[in-house]
């Protein structure tokens, strides 16, 4: 079922003690003024998940920032979906632009990761989006379409109902540049249209599509007011409890 979601991606930030403190502060702020219309997810580093899962009261979901494309075995340094599930997480971010860019994760690898996530009863937050050159060349719609077709649209309708999509204009991540509300809505509507073409209007209408690209307390409400923007995948602003909770309350 479609709902508003704000997910905080901490990336490679916060020691364990700092992460515990941040999660506790977020939980405290939300308890004092609970959000009425949005779900909340945080994605701390792998080593934080089990500890933070034991501290939260269940009103905040926990995501891993990535997972292995294999179920188990001799893959030094990797963390499997089963391990993530056993640590207490319920979601996994798949295909973040930084994983694609820095670690060479392509659509076939991401397809395998989606399979691992779903096999372990986790919810994928699947990221898609274009770089600046692709947008300037007016190829941004094709880029996103291919990312969805190749790594996500192999799922059955039943499987797809467990997916969250996040649109990341890569040119607006960590640059201080934000897509205009009109640009965000245009792409979100396009993505929803692609989902409708593949799975039908009912499933498309029930799919949460998040915006990820320099979303902050001062622009969140304007972005979230768009009919096809169902929340945000928040980077830097999720590292500050007051900023993150302000975004959550922007609906």
Instruction: Tell me the catalytic residues.
Output: 96, 168
d(CA 200, CA 203): 6
CB 96 within 8 A of CB 66: yes
User: What sign has the CA pseudo-torsion 83, 86, 92, 96?
Assistant: negative
What distances in angstroms separate CA 72 from CA 108, 141, 217, 222, one per listed residue? 18, 36, 40, 44
The alpha carbon of 239 is separated from its chain's Cα centroid by a whole number of angstroms, namely 15
d(CA 4, CA 229): 8
């Amino acid at each position: 079922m479609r709902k508003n979601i704000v997910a905080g991606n901490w990336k490679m930030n916060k020691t364990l003690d700092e992460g515990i403190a941040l999660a506790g502060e977020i939980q405290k702020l939300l308890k004092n003024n609970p959000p009425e219309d949005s779900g909340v997810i945080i994605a701390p580093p792998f080593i934080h998940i089990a500890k933070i899962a034991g501290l939260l009261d269940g009103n905040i979901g926990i995501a891993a920032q990535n997972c292995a494309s294999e179920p188990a075995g001799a893959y030094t340094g990797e963390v499997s979906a089963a391990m993530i599930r056993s640590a207490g997480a319920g979601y996994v971010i798949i295909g973040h632009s930084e994983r694609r860019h820095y670690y060479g994760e392509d659509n076939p690898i991401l397809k395998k990761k989606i399979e691992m996530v779903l096999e372990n009863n986790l919810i994928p937050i699947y990221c898609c989006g274009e770089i600046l050159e692709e947008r300037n060349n007016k190829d941004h719609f094709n880029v996103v379409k291919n990312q969805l077709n190749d790594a996500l649209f192999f799922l059955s309708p039943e499987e797809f109902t467990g997916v969250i999509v996040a649109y990341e204009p890569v040119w607006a991540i960590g640059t201080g540049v934000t897509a205009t509300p009109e640009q965000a809505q245009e792409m979100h509507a396009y993505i929803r249209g692609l989902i409708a073409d593949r799975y039908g209007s009912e499933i498309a209408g029930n799919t949460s599509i998040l915006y990820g690209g320099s979303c902050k307390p001062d622009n969140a409400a304007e972005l979230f007011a768009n009919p096809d923007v169902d929340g945000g995948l928040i980077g830097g602003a999720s590292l500050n409890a007051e900023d993150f909770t302000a975004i959550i309350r922007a609906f």
